[in-house]
Amino acid sequence: MLLAGRIILVTGGSRGLGGAMVKAFTREGARVAFNYSSNDADAQATLAAVETAGGFARAYKCSVTDRAGLRSMVRRIEEEVGPVDTLVNNAGVGQVLPLALMEEEDWDRMMDIHVKGAFLTTQACLRGMVKHKRGTILNVSSLAGVRMVKAPVHYCTAKAALRGFTESLAKEIGKYGIVVNAIAPGLLDEGVADNIPATNKADYEANCALGRTGTCAEVAELAALLLSSRNTYMNGATILADGGI
């Protein structure tokens, strides 16, 4: 029960890594709220899995790019679940597209969901954390934002921005007892891997020390440890979980 008593908000928590984290965190004793943008079926499936396992989760349909909606959502979470003391900025989107064929809208969407979404959600939760002088924030970056790998330029740029966001925010709000870290997964069994060519996946596995892609469940277990009281002095760090690239 690493997370007993914690109230966690996971953005983009209906499927993939987000869904795996919701399940892992509730299994470790946390009360979890998560948002999703559109797929009701995925959200209900995640809620059902948590309920079957005896955990507690609530789902809220709201885009991370909707500032007013996020603030309203956080107020609802405070009323229905409790004050958020832990935030996981996980919401993201993938798109395999070369820069030469990229439209401005493609670039803006990637930045809005990954970077602006983390900014808006953090801002919506931060006042309560500062008030209580405690809190934990985990941003989901990517190997593509830390190392030079074959991945779409706008995706790599957005994930690299989250690393900078993590470091600067950790420096700014550490005085309030709030820690900010990031996790940077490599290629996983769900999410970005759904859209990449088979040759890219094979290339990743050939260059990975473990010889395989990771699973969302594996990264979710690491995230649970990073958020727990067993990890109290790490701040501003980005932890790779890539199998050894």
What domains lie within the chain, and their CATH numbers? Answer: 7-235 (3.40.50.720)
Average pLDDT value for the chain: 96
pLDDT of 192 strictly over 80: no
Q: What is the mean pLDDT of residues 73-92?
A: 97
* Catalytic residue positions, numbered: 155
pLDDT of 102 strictly over 80: yes
pLDDT of 199 strictly over 90: no
Return the pLDDT at 196. Answer: 81
Q: What is the mean pLDDT of residues 48-62?
A: 98
Q: What is the mean pLDDT of residues 66-87?
A: 97
Return the pLDDT at 195. Answer: 77
Return the pLDDT at 176. Answer: 97
pLDDT of 210 strictly over 80: yes
Return the exposure string of 82-103: e unless at least 16 CB atoms fall within 10 Å of the residue's CB, then b: eebbbbbbbbbbbeebeeeeee
Under the banding of pLDDT at 50, 70 and 90, the label for residue 193 is confident
Return the pLDDT at 166. Answer: 98
Predicted confidence (pLDDT) per residue in 112-136, tens digit? 999 999 999 999 999 999 999 999 9
pLDDT of 83 strictly over 80: yes
Return the pLDDT at 191. Answer: 79
CA proximity to 244, closest of 198, 206, 216:
206
Q: What is the mean pLDDT of residues 39-51?
A: 97
Under the banding of pLDDT at 50, 70 and 90, the label for residue 56 is very high
State how far the Cα of 86 lies from the Cα of 30, in Å rounded to an integer: 10
pTM greater than the 0.85 cutoff: yes
CA proximity to 95, closest of 108, 80, 77, 79:
108
